Chain A
């Protein structure tokens, strides 16, 4: 990425890469977090943001609960069934480029709560860049995670993938490459379900068709199978 292109004229390649480095430097040193704190990890996040383990010395000065003005989403705390659509909505509202830290055991894997209400890891539905283990993790761990994100931005890596956790744990493979154009209808997992598959989801049966169709899903394609995901040039 930062490899200088050896050209006779030289100027364009050199400036482009330097500008990209400058942009990355700016981005990583001014990461504005969007704290999605739902439970106990949020307390540790608050501790990290306060004066003793100050996070603003890394550039994360502006902690606003507005997704439109943030780069980095810190999911701290367990996410339950009712909260998951809210999390997706907030994540969709964040402008690109965005990164995500999954803080604590509950956000990463569901933690101790393997029940009917708790999402077993938000990385099933949103792309997570850094996972922090712990219950709750210490503030130093959150600072380490932020520094890992900064390192990731410095190297210019693309965003990570969304995993299908309903498969066997040793069987993990990325199924939706979000930084490349994923196609098809939204992927609903559930290979372990005992309920019969429904053509009309329960919400439509009970409440009728939705008032608002999500157009970006339609733009993505016409339901090709996952094995034929198109890649960027």
Chain B
């Protein structure tokens, strides 16, 4: 990596203190974990001052049935993951903000990047995480009147029967 994760972490810790929960490396990818309350300030700092101009993806992780050694990294059930890319340094960074299950909300990153728009819609559709301040938070992959959040770990793979519930073709009888 061209940029230095350690120096970035010291800067972040001095700026945001307690909101930065930790850092690490995952298969060569630098990861920073933060609290969800500080997601917008941290992301704004990373975009403007640390030169991570580009957001490539917004996604979510459900830690419900992870093995214990991986479960330890998660302070809450869900983790909203922002994948950032720096064009000046040619470096990538992953920012994880932990979201609890009861109040499944986090501030939307659409004021910072337009690219967050559909990524957050997908995270909402699949996991049920509500992004406060999103201009148009609605389902993007599933039908609009679908009930349930499919990629949560407690949602059955085969669904709840929605795929069987359609009208059958019935012929108009001759008169």
* Residue of B with least CB distance to A80: B163
Query: What CA separation (Å) do A77 and B160 show in the bound complex?
Result: 23
Stretch at the interface among A47-55, A147-155, A212-220: A212-220
| A40 beta carbon closer than 8 Å to chain B | no
The answer on a CB contact under 8 Å between B170 and A182 is yes
Question: A interface, by DSSP: helix, strand, loop or mixed?
Answer: loop
The answer on a CB contact under 8 Å between B166 and A85 is yes
Query: What CA separation (Å) do A85 and B143 show in the bound complex?
Result: 11
| A84 beta carbon closer than 8 Å to chain B | yes
The answer on a CB contact under 8 Å between A189 and B172 is no
Binary interface profile of A, 160-171, with partner B (CB < 8 Å = 1, else 0)?
001001100000
Which residues from chain A contact B159 at a C-beta distance below 8 Å? 115-117
Given that A81-B143, A115-B159, A116-B157 are contacting pairs, would A189 and B170 also be in contact in the complex, using a CB cutoff of 8 Å?
A: no
Query: What CA separation (Å) do A203 and B147 show in the bound complex?
Result: 10
* Residue of B with least CB distance to A195: B160
The answer on a CB contact under 8 Å between A203 and B145 is yes
Question: B interface, by DSSP: helix, strand, loop or mixed?
Answer: loop
Number of interface residues of B (CB under 8 A): 26
* Residue of A with least CB distance to B167: A186
The answer on a CB contact under 8 Å between B168 and A179 is no
Task: Say which size band chain A's interface belongs to.
Answer: 35 or more
B5 → A minimal CB distance (Å)? 38
| B49 beta carbon closer than 8 Å to chain A | no
The answer on a CB contact under 8 Å between B145 and A81 is no
Which residues from chain B contact A116 at a C-beta distance below 8 Å? 150, 155-160, 162-163
Which residues from chain A contact B174 at a C-beta distance below 8 Å? 181
Which residues from chain B contact A189 at a C-beta distance below 8 Å? 164-165
| B142 beta carbon closer than 8 Å to chain A | yes
B121 → A minimal CB distance (Å)? 15
Binary interface profile of A, 96-135, with partner B (CB < 8 Å = 1, else 0)?
0000000000000000001111111000111100000000
Query: What CA separation (Å) do A81 and B165 show in the bound complex?
Result: 10
A209 → B minimal CB distance (Å)? 14
| A82 beta carbon closer than 8 Å to chain B | yes
The answer on a CB contact under 8 Å between A176 and B142 is no
The answer on a CB contact under 8 Å between B170 and A216 is yes
The answer on a CB contact under 8 Å between B171 and A182 is yes
* Residue of A with least CB distance to B164: A189
Given that A81-B143, A116-B162, A195-B161 are contacting pairs, would A178 and B171 also be in contact in the complex, using a CB cutoff of 8 Å?
A: yes
The answer on a CB contact under 8 Å between A88 and B161 is no
**What would be 22 A-B contacts, judged by CB atoms less than 8 Å apart?**
A81-B142, A81-B162, A88-B169, A114-B158, A115-B157, A116-B150, A116-B159, A116-B162, A116-B163, A117-B142, A120-B163, A120-B164, A125-B167, A162-B168, A176-B168, A176-B169, A181-B174, A182-B170, A182-B171, A186-B167, A187-B168, A194-B161
Contacts beyond the supplied A190-B164, A194-B160: 4 A-B pairs with Cβ under 8 Å: A81-B143, A116-B162, A193-B164, A193-B165
B residues near A (Cβ < 8 Å) are 142-143, 145-147, 150, 155-174
